Chains A and B, each alone.
Chain A
Amino acid sequence: MGIVTPQTARFDEPLKLVCGRELPSYELVYETYGTLNKQHSNAVLICHALSGNHHAAGFHGPEDKKAGWWDECIGPGKPIDTDRFFVVSLNNLGGCHGSTGPSSINPATGKTWGPDFPPMRTTDWVHSQARLADLLEIDCWAAVIGGSLGGMQAMRWSLEFPERIQHCIVIAAALKLSAQNLAFNEVARQAIEADPEFVGGGYQDSNTIPAQGLALARMIGHITYLSDDAMANKFGRDLRSGSLNRGETADAEFQVQSYLRHQGSQFSSNFDANTYILMTRALDYFDLALEYDGNAVEAFKQSQSSFFVVSFSTDWRFSPQRSREIVNALIEADRPVSYAEIEANEGHDAFLLPIPRYLDVFHAYMLRVGASD
């Protein structure tokens, strides 16, 4: 994809939120890849997951070693082919990578929002994304695509703006969270809130950073992203230091421990704790069919899109069974749907990885997207 440069869009029209409050103005940071065609019919929206951001593909400079989070799937000749599509990827409201969020200044007080930033729902994100589409003069997305929480936004798009989305691509997602999912998110939030440096979310005012809590939250999350097999293959019971020999008094350290600590500390230096709490709540509150009497079939009857649903065999966060619930509701609602269940060892994380069958079938589906233009 080469070097990409983020842009910022400012919106001064207030955004009414599901929670009843409203954001008087806000900014969204986004990147685009590829070229918008004359008819503006080749635009594709990428929705990010829990800890994602706008930087989905390419590099930010010649020194940048780490490509965007979905670089495996976005670029010339890749499933989301930038030779064909104009790809828009943004940081969601409430994020901490440039879009307005808890670490932004609240214009009403002149101080950081902190924990007072209004709670977000996927519906709010979809409406803010629609404003970005208006700004970019995109009347209808050729596709809205997302994995995990991103897939939930894609589904929400198909209900909120049925006439503005032709294809809805939902990867490793679910119609709503299970009790187990909710439980993991709660433990992650508790880890953050129990950190004395969190100060009830007001850590920016007190010049502290709840790095411990955030790292712990990430470690918990990370375990749920990997499968048992993936962990076994990657680390097994290998030791990083010490030994399990008789007579050994010093603690031994397993590879998996040091890996998790590394992941945790990396994350806590790049991510905002209030954003993490906001994102996990958005995930918890997501229930596609809530406003349709809990009936996903009735919900999907609102949509006019074609759907492509993908799951991964060892994903236990949003297992294939959760994806089949989406597919079955779509079948019952008589919506066009394709579904592939990818054999993969990597668990939930598989949706970010270059698994050959995944890339092949994703690529195959994208052939029909924008094909009529």
Chain B
Amino acid sequence: MRLDLSHIQRWIDPGSRVLDLGCGDGVFLESLRDQRQVRGTGLEIDREYITAAIARGINVVEQNMDESLANFPDHSFDTVVLALALQAVNYPDRVLEEMLRIGREGIVTFPNFGHWRCRLMLGIGGHMPISKLMPYTWYNTPNIHFCTVKDFEELCQEKGIRILARDVVGNTRPTPLLSNKWPNLFATTAIYRITR
């Protein structure tokens, strides 16, 4: 399983209700169901992913979260997860608001554009960064709203969103010291647990 997903498992209570926005092939919800008896629902627009997730026994609704999430009632889930999808939506701020309307808590993971490699590629190389996590060229990418750790935390403050916990995935393992101390510089993926 992707690192950001294995990191956030521990923030999800056993037996709780989880909505996974952009659930992919459903591997995360499957693991939550099998390990933590979670009742999950996934949202997805990719056809192959939908079939794969349904084959895993996951409940998946074909729906574009960018268009609307209004069909999900207030507080109908314990946790709403948005994993590596914030940068791909048209209105990240609206999606965040919706997450915390639908769920008690939200978990967001995103590629940190403030990572030193990104800065080097852009600042010294003069090119838009391309990495393992973001392998696309600037003109052909689903990722349209990049942000940094700093940017995200500022947005949360502006929106009155409380950050309950922050975690990072860096490439400084096995000593994640640097990415924990200076996440904006060393985190490749930022992970947040948020609430109202």
Question: Is A371 touching B57 in the complex (CB atoms < 8 A)?
Answer: yes
CB distance from B51 to the nearest CB of A (A): 5
Q: Select one of B50, B57, B76 contacting A367, CB under 8 A.
A: B57
Which residues of B are found within 8 Å of A334, using beta-carbon distances? 76
Is B71 touching A331 in the complex (CB atoms < 8 A)?
A: yes
15 A-B Cβ contacts within 8 A?
A306-B59, A328-B71, A331-B41, A331-B71, A331-B76, A332-B71, A334-B76, A338-B58, A340-B51, A361-B47, A361-B51, A361-B54, A364-B52, A368-B57, A371-B57
How near does chain A come to B67, taking the closest CB pair, in angstroms?
11
Q: Is A341 an interface residue (CB 8 A)?
A: yes
In the complex, how many angstroms separate the beta carbon of A339 from the nearest chain B beta carbon? 5
Q: Does B72 contact A (CB under 8 A)?
A: yes
When distances are taken between beta carbons in the complex, the residues of chain A under 8 Å from B62 are 339-341
Cα separation A324 to B61 with both chains bound (whole Å) = 10
Q: Quick check: is B174 within 8 A (CB to CB) of the other chain?
A: no
**Restricting to B59-90, which residues have a CB under 8 Å from any CB of A?**
59-63, 71-73, 76
Binary CB contact string for chain B from 24 to 63 against chain A (1 if under 8 A, 0 otherwise): 0000000000000001010000010011101101111111
Chief secondary structure at chain A's binding surface: mixed
Question: Is the pair B54, A332 in contact by a Cβ cutoff of 8 Å?
Answer: no
Q: Is the CB of B50 within 8 A of A340?
A: yes
Q: Interface residues of B toward A: which range?
A: 10 to 19
Give CA–CA (A328, B76) in the complex, Å.
Answer: 13
- Complex: chain A residue closest to B60, CB-CB: A338
**Known A332-B73, A334-B76, A364-B55; contact A327-B61, beta-carbon cutoff 8 A:** yes
Q: Is the CB of B54 within 8 A of A338?
A: yes
Asked if B61 and A337 make an inter-chain contact with CB atoms under 8 angstroms apart, the answer reads yes
Measured CB to CB, the nearest residue on chain B to A334 is B76
In angstroms, Cα B50 to Cα A336, docked, is 15
Per the bound structure, the CA–CA distance linking A134 and B50 in Å amounts to 36
Chain A residue at minimal CB-CB distance from B52: A364
Min CB distance, B172 to chain A, in Å?
40
- Whole-angstrom CA separation of A364 from B50 in the bound complex: 10
Which chain B residues border A371 with CB–CB below 8 Å? 57
Contacts of A308 in B (CB 8 A): 54
In the complex, A161 has a CB within 8 A of chain B: no
Are B71 and A364 closer than 8 Å at their CB atoms?
Answer: no
Q: A341 vs B72: C-alpha distance in the bound complex, in angstroms? A: 18
Q: How far is the CB of A333 from chain B (nearest CB, A)?
A: 10
Complex interface: chain B residues within 8 A of A328 (CB): 71
Residues of A within 8 A of B (CB): 306, 308, 324, 327-328, 331-332, 334, 336-341, 357, 360-361, 364-365, 367-368, 371
Question: Taking CB as reference atom, which chain A residue is nearest B43?
Answer: A339
Residue of A331, A336, A357, A360 near B72 (CB, 8 A) is A331
A185 to B104, CA, bound (A): 47
Question: Within the complex, what minimum Cβ distance (angstroms) separates A96 from chain B?
Answer: 37
Whole-angstrom CA separation of A367 from B30 in the bound complex: 15
Whole-angstrom CA separation of A332 from B50 in the bound complex: 21
Interface contact A331-B55, CB-CB below 8 Å? no
CA distance A368 to B62 in the complex (A): 18
Which one of B41, B47, B57, B76 contacts A357 once the chains associate, using CB atoms below 8 Å?
B47
Instruction: Evaluate contact between B61 and A357: CB separation under 8 angstroms.
Output: no
Q: Could you tell me the distance in whole angstroms from the C-beta of B54 to the nearest C-beta in chain A?
A: 4
Query: How many angstroms between the C-alpha atoms of A332 and B51 in the bound complex?
Result: 23
Contact A336 B73 (CB under 8 A): no
| B61 and A331 contacting across the interface, CB-CB below 8 Å | yes
In angstroms, Cα B54 to Cα A371, docked, is 13
Is the pair B57, A339 in contact by a Cβ cutoff of 8 Å?
A: no
Chain B residues whose CB sits within 8 angstroms of the CB of A332 once the complex forms: 71, 73, 76
Q: Is the CB of B47 within 8 A of A338?
A: no
The residue from A306, A331, A361 contacting B50, defined by CB atoms under 8 A apart: A361
B41 surroundings in chain A (CB, below 8 A): 331, 336-337
CA distance A306 to B61 in the complex (A): 13
Complex Cα distance A187/B55, Å?
43
Report the bound CA distance from A256 to B109 in whole Å: 54
- Extra inter-chain contacts (10) besides given A338-B58, A365-B54, CB under 8 Å: A306-B59, A331-B61, A331-B76, A332-B73, A332-B76, A337-B59, A339-B63, A361-B54, A364-B55, A368-B57
The interface residues of chain A lying within 8 Å CB-to-CB of B52 are 364
B103 to chain A, nearest CB (A): 14
Q: Are B59 and A338 in contact, with the CB atoms below 8 A?
A: yes
Determine how close the nearest CB of chain A comes to the CB of B101; give it in whole angstroms. 14
Complex CA gap A357/B46 in Å reads 12
Residues of B within 8 A of A357 (CB): 47, 51
| Residue among B59, B63, B76 having the largest count of chain A Cβ atoms under 10 Å | B59
Chain B residues with Cβ under 8 A from A337's Cβ?
Answer: 41, 59, 61
Q: Which 6 A-B pairs have the closest CB atoms?
A: A364-B55, A328-B71, A364-B54, A368-B57, A339-B61, A361-B51
Residues of A within 8 A of B58 (CB): 338
